[in-house]
Amino acid sequence: MSRLLLVRHGQASFFGGDYDQLSPQGLAQARRLGQHLADTGVSIDISYVGPLRRHRETAAAVATTYRAARGDWPAEHSVETLAEHAAAAVMKSVLGLTEASGNGGLSLTPSEDPAERQRLVRDYFRRWEQVSRRWIDGEFTELPHESWQSARRRAAEALALMTAPGRTGETRIAFSSGGLICMIVGELLGLDDQRIFDLSLVFGNSAMAEIRFSGQRRTLAGFNLTPHLVDQGLATMV
C-alpha cells in the first residue's frame, strides 16, 4: 500500500500583523518535522501544497531541512482545494469584525503578559467555536463565504486527487490546515459535521494524519501524530 501524510501548518502568527505566516515557533516545528522525516529514512515521492502562505512556508521549511539532511525532495504540486474552510471569515462577518481589529477578530491590543495573552486566545476561540458550530448547522447562509458543505465537497476532491493510483509503496505528503485535514479524516471515518469539527479542536500545529491507500481502499492509519515534537517543548494548538 501507499501512504499519504497530511500535515497541518506550523504555528501561525496569532499576535502578529499577519496571521497567515508562520511564527518563529511555527518555523521551528516545520524544521523539526523535516529533520524527523530525514532521520527516519522516509522517502517522499509527491508533495502537495495548499494555497495559503502558512501552507507554503511550512512546506518550504520541511523541504529545506529534509534536503540538507537527506537529499532529494520532489517538486511541489499546488492544490487549491487544500485551502482552509471559511470559519474564521464567517466569525468576523457575524461579529461585525473588520481587518482594523486585527488577527481574525482580536479587538484588544495584545499584552506582553503571558497570562493575558492566554486569556485573549481563550476568548477568541470560545467565540470562534460558538459561531463555527452555528455555521456548520446551516446558519449565516446570507454571508458571501463558502459554506461548510461546499468545503466538505472540496476536501473529498482533494482526497481523491492525492490518493489517485500510482506506484505501489509511494509516500506522498500534503500541507494544509487543520479544519480541511479533519474534513478529509471525517470523510474516511464517516463522521457527521459536528464530530469533524470536534477533531479540529485537538489537531495540533505541524501534526500529521496518515492515510494508507491502494486502489479504491483508503484507511486512516494515524491522527494528530507529532513524533518530531516529543520532548522538544514545541507543541502548540494555535
Share of the chain above pLDDT 90, in %: 79
Mean pLDDT of the chain: 92
In the chain, what are the domains? 2-84+154-229 (3.40.50.1240), 86-145 (no CATH)
DSSP 78-130: E-GGGS--SHHHHHHHHTT--GGG-TTT--SPPPSSHHHHHHHHHHHHHHHHH
Rounded-to-10 torsion of CA 196, 201, 207, 212: -20
pLDDT in tens, 212-224: 999 999 999 999 9
- pLDDT by residue for the chain (238 residues), tens only, comes to 999 999 999 999 877 778 899 999 999 999 999 999 999 999 999 999 999 999 999 999 999 999 999 999 999 999 999 999 999 999 989 988 544 344 444 444 566 777 887 888 888 889 999 999 999 999 999 999 999 999 999 999 999 999 999 999 999 999 999 999 999 999 999 999 999 999 999 999 999 999 999 999 999 999 999 999 987 788 998 8
How is residue 47 written as a grid cell?
508533495
Radius of gyration of the chain (CA): 18
> Of 55, 57, 56, nearest to 178 (Cα)?
55
